[in-house]
Amino acid sequence: MPAPILLTGFQPFDGESSNPSWEAVAALDGSRLDGRRVVALQLPVVFGQSLRVLAKALERFRPALALCVGQAGGRSRISLERVAINLQDARIPDNAGRQPLDEPIEARGPAAYFARLPLKACLAALGEAGIPAEISHTAGTYVCNHVFYGLMHALRARRAVRAGFMHIPYSPAQAVRHPGAPSLPVELATAAVRLTVETALARQTDLRLRGGSEC
Ligand code: PCA
């Protein structure tokens, strides 16, 4: 049996009743991509606990690729995150009421990790499929960045494992409560996850394409 693919999404937070990141990856749970089994896991929006759940799953499943997905309400496109920083600075409390301010995630860890995904090739694949996407250079300083950093830190010695983070916009159902906010159908977010995984498994090296940004 080839090593599986691990996908994660989050529980709802900040007063929402759903989180499209979980809906998007749950739709792929138990399916096969590139001949590999897909395991989808829901993470709590809680500093520390989210990473303990993730670490257990990385040990149990030993995936060939791990892609964590989170909701980024207000963003208009799929964000392929390039960099996780060693900082937690919560604007709002997490689902357990914790609100770390200006703390490192790993006291002895490096300042940042880069995603280990061919981001430009993924961006091109999403564009060809008609899914609006961008490369993002910040995953914020809340639980998503915490999980992204913890993922890359946990896999720092397992260089062959591909790993990264994707932020997705509100679902249309959420946007009903946020007038003016952009949204993306969950089916398109699921398609974006699938395409990103397939592209990452198919390519060891990235394409040289434009995808950077000014401030
Ligand atoms: N988004 C939050 C945490 C959970 C989620 O889906 C974030 O961007 O940090």
The total number of structural domains that make up the chain: 1
CA–CA separation, 199 and 204 (whole Å): 9
Give residue 180's pLDDT: 97
CA–CA separation, 74 and 138 (whole Å): 14
Q: Is residue 79 a part of any domain in this protein?
A: yes
List the structure tokens of 137.
């250079």
Active-site residue, selected from the candidate residues 81, 122, 146, 153 = 81
pTM, 2 dp: 0.98
- The candidate with the shortest Cα–Cα distance to 7, out of 52, 54, 60, 47, is 54
**Please, what are the averages of pLDDT over each run of 10 residues along the chain (215 residues)?**
97 98 98 97 98 98 98 98 98 98 98 98 98 98 98 97 98 98 98 98 94 91
Mutate to test the pocket of ligand 1, among 7, 18, 142, 184 (most ligand atoms within 8 A of CB): 142
Q: What angle do CA 106, 84, 64 make, to 5 degrees?
A: 95
140 ligand 1 Cβ < 6 A? yes
Give residue 161's pLDDT: 97
70 ligand 1 Cβ < 6 A? yes
Q: Are 44 and 50 in contact (CB under 8 A)?
A: yes
**Known catalytic residue: 81?**
yes
Mutate to test the pocket of ligand 1, among 18, 45, 67 (most ligand atoms within 8 A of CB): 45
Give residue 215's pLDDT: 87
Give residue 59's identity as a one-letter amino acid code: E
| DSSP category for residue 42 | E
Q: Are 137 and 79 in contact (CB under 8 A)?
A: no
79 ligand 1 Cβ < 6 A? no
Q: Is residue 177 a part of any domain in this protein?
A: yes
Q: Are 163 and 66 in contact (CB under 8 A)?
A: yes
Q: Is residue 97 a part of any domain in this protein?
A: yes
Q: Is residue 208 a part of any domain in this protein?
A: no
Mutate to test the pocket of ligand 1, among 13, 16, 75, 105 (most ligand atoms within 8 A of CB): 13
Q: Is residue 210 a part of any domain in this protein?
A: no
**Known catalytic residue: 106?**
no
How, if at all, do strands 65-71 and 5-10 pair? parallel
Helix, strand, or coil here: 99?
coil
13 ligand 1 Cβ < 6 A? yes
Helix, strand, or coil here: 27?
coil
HSE toward the beta carbon, residue 159, CA cutoff 13 A: 1
Q: Is residue 211 a part of any domain in this protein?
A: no
149 ligand 1 Cβ < 6 A? no
Q: Is residue 207 a part of any domain in this protein?
A: no
Active-site residue, selected from the candidate residues 16, 68, 122, 144 = 144
Helix, strand, or coil here: 128?
helix
Q: Is residue 76 a part of any domain in this protein?
A: yes
**Known catalytic residue: 144?**
yes
Helix, strand, or coil here: 153?
helix
- Domain containing 196 equals 5-202
- C-alpha distances out from residue 156 to 52, 82, 109, 161, 205, Å: 16, 16, 10, 9, 18
> CATH no. for residue 49?
3.40.630.20
